[in-house]
């Protein structure tokens, strides 16, 4: 066992999991444990994961019988982690950003003594950030609104699916269920701020630009979820402001 656990939420990922990437990384590095959450998948995700973990060190599965969504799947996983972990983190199963990038975020948290490290998709020369135009566009719109009216912490990218959180802080901010389905990252930040104050956030949260992010073709976010975004934003605003 290592001192950190990275959670990978999986919903119908059987055809999308890059088995080789997980294998190679986990065999060559011993930086963190991996916990895959099978969130009531209706495809072969569970058997694919069972095969994968049987060959790998420090890797396990949390199997949820019923689909409960990314936010709830990660929440349940965090709440059942061993007391011995110092850090918890999460990463999208499609490896839009890589395992070595989440590993880099973890070492930043350790060396710079931060309790919350956010991967950030900033498109600059030298970084390989590839996003679909409309996802970038609407993502930026939502993120800009969120920081200006809800968080007020000068965070550029709240929704990036790569985050590291100190385990004690994680226990506190994952305790209650989330109000929204796809904006739970924002709720984690809002809860941190409400719990510890703005000054704490300024010194303990760090946003780190990623070297790589490639949007994959398919998405589990439906058009209906997209249409519901203004309502979700309003919910966040009235609940956390």
Ligand X SMILES: Nc1nc2c(ncn2[C@@H]2O[C@H](COP(=O)(O)OP(=O)(O)O)[C@@H](O)[C@H]2O)c(=O)[nH]1
Under the rule (CB under 5 A), what is the footprint of Mg ion? 92, 94, 96, 216
11 contact, one of Mg ion, ligand X, none, CB 5-8 Å limit per kind: ligand X
Whether 206 and 162 have beta carbons less than 8 Å apart is answered as no
Name the DSSP letter for residue 121: -
Q: Does 166 interact with ligand X (rule: CB under 6 A)? A: no
**Of positions 6, 53, 118, 161, contacts ligand X by CB under 6 A:** 161
CA distance 110 to 169: 14
Decide if residue 79 touches ligand X (CB under 6 A). Answer: no
For 241, counting Cβ atoms within 10 Å of its Cβ (0-12 exposed, 13-18 middle, 19+ buried), the class is exposed
CB 241, min distance to Mg ion, A? 29
221 binds ligand X (CB under 6 A): yes
- 77 sits near ligand X (criterion: CB under 6 A): no
Q: Which does 69 bind (CB under 5 to 8 A by kind): ligand X, Mg ion, none?
A: ligand X
- 9 binds ligand X per the rule CB under 6 A: yes
Residue among 43, 77, 52, 40 nearest 62 (CA): 77
Bridge partners, 208 (sequence order) = 119
53 binds, among Mg ion, ligand X, none (CB under 5 to 8 A by kind): none
- Evaluate the CA torsion angle 79, 80, 84, 89 in order and state its sign: negative
> Minimum CB separation from Mg ion for residue 11, in Å?
11
Quick one: which segment of 103-111, 143-151, 200-208, 216-224 binds ligand X (CB under 6 A)? 216-224
Hey, is 59 helix, strand or coil?
strand
**Please, are residues 188 and 165 in contact by the beta-carbon 8 Å criterion?**
yes
Residues that bind ligand X (CB under 6 A): 9-11, 13, 37, 39, 67, 69-70, 73, 92-94, 96, 161, 219-221
């Amino acid at each position: 066992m290592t001192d950190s656990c990275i959670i990978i939420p999986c919903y119908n990922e059987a055809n999308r999991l890059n088995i080789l990437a997980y294998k190679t990384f986990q065999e060559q590095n011993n930086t963190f444990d991996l916990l895959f959450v099978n969130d009531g998948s209706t495809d072969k995700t569970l058997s694919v994961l069972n095969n994968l973990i049987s060959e790998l060190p420090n890797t396990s599965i949390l199997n949820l019988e019923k689909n409960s969504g990314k936010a709830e799947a990660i929440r349940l996983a965090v709440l059942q982690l061993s007391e011995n972990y110092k850090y918890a983190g999460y990463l999208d199963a499609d490896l839009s950003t890589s395992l070595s990038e989440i590993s880099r975020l973890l070492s930043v948290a350790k060396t710079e003594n931060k309790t919350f490290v956010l991967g950030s998709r900033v498109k600059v020369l030298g970084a390989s950030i590839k996003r679909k135009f409309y996802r970038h566009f609407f993502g930026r719109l939502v993120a800009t609104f969120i920081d200006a009216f809800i968080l007020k912490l000068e965070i550029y990218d709240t929704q990036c699916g790569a985050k590291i959180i100190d385990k004690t802080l994680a226990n506190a901010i994952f305790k209650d269920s989330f109000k929204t389905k796809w904006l739970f990252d924002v709720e984690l930040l809002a809860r941190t701020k409400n719990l510890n104050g703005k000054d704490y956030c300024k010194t303990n949260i760090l946003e780190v630009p990623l070297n790589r992010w490639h949007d994959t073709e398919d998405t589990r976010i439906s058009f209906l979820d997209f249409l519901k975004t203004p309502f979700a934003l309003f919910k966040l605003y009235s609940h956390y402001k």
